Chain A
Amino acid sequence: MLTRPTVALAALLMLGAAPLAQAADKPTDPQIAHIAYTAGVIDVEAAKLAIEKSKTKEVVDFAKDMVRDHEAVNVQALDLVKKLNVKPEDNPTSQALTKAATEERAKLAKLDGAAFDKAYVENEVAYHKQVNGALETLLIPSASNAELKGLLETGLKIFQGHEQHAEHVAGMLK
């Protein structure tokens, strides 16, 4: 049976590649922690590339906001897993996210100027949309620890803010 989480997970995997052994199962807390942390690291890395490459103030400012917020969330995530004595566990979703992000970064690295700005910001809109969808439909409902759930809910609000911020920057570039 195709459950909503399965659909969300497929969406999270971008192209629906990489069949998942556990696709029908809910991710465990150690896996959720790993997915959330990985998603943050990916956005920080993309932002660092933008800070290095972009010459547009709005894009660089946005990228700096991403570094600051995602690093702050991940510090909180690390503190929490330490406190809960949870060991984040690598999993197919984290791996698929990392693989897709590596490809996206390679694509962005080849672009310059306005083409880079446009591709970076559009990807930020799409990426945050995707992560927010996964948080809402899969990660938050699956989290069993209340504190982990709470942090994910705060994360969702932040990332929804980023999505709007990215849309605003995308609008300015047009």
Chain B
Amino acid sequence: MRALPLIGALALAFAASPAPAATITVTIDRLVFSPASIEAKVGDTIEWVNKDAFAHTATVKGGWEVMIPPKSTGRMTLKEAGTVDYFCRFHPNMKGRLDVSP
């Protein structure tokens, strides 16, 4: 009868674990992050799909930076809750926002 508590523990662990992490896509087309504002959870991955022929970045002032090469994709898994504004370091007129809940 040792199996039963184990199954119980597993079921409990499963129920307590958060929703599976999602991948959220932000498209960059003609120097615009779309959607500009994203709601996500810690553990989700943001994927920036760059359709431009220009390199971009997703940069948080004093924080992280993701390079997004031309016609390519940059990714980052969110580790911290909070709202951050990000921009492209090469084209600071490109702006986006992440609202990350725990």
Contact = CB atoms under 8 A, between A and B. Distances in A.
Interface in B78-93: 88-93
Interface in A49-83: 65, 68-69, 72-73, 75-76
A162 interface: yes
A166 to B, nearest CB: 10
Contacts of B53: 72-73, 75-76
A69 B94 CA distance: 15
Interface string B21-46: 00000000011000000000000000
Interface residues of B, number: 14
A161 interface: yes
A164 B93 contact: yes
Contacts of A73: 53-54
Contacts of B70: 72
Interface in A75-105: 75-76
Contacts of B30: 153-154, 157
Contact of B31 (A72, A76, A161, A165): A161
A14 B92 CA distance: 26
A163 B52 CA distance: 19
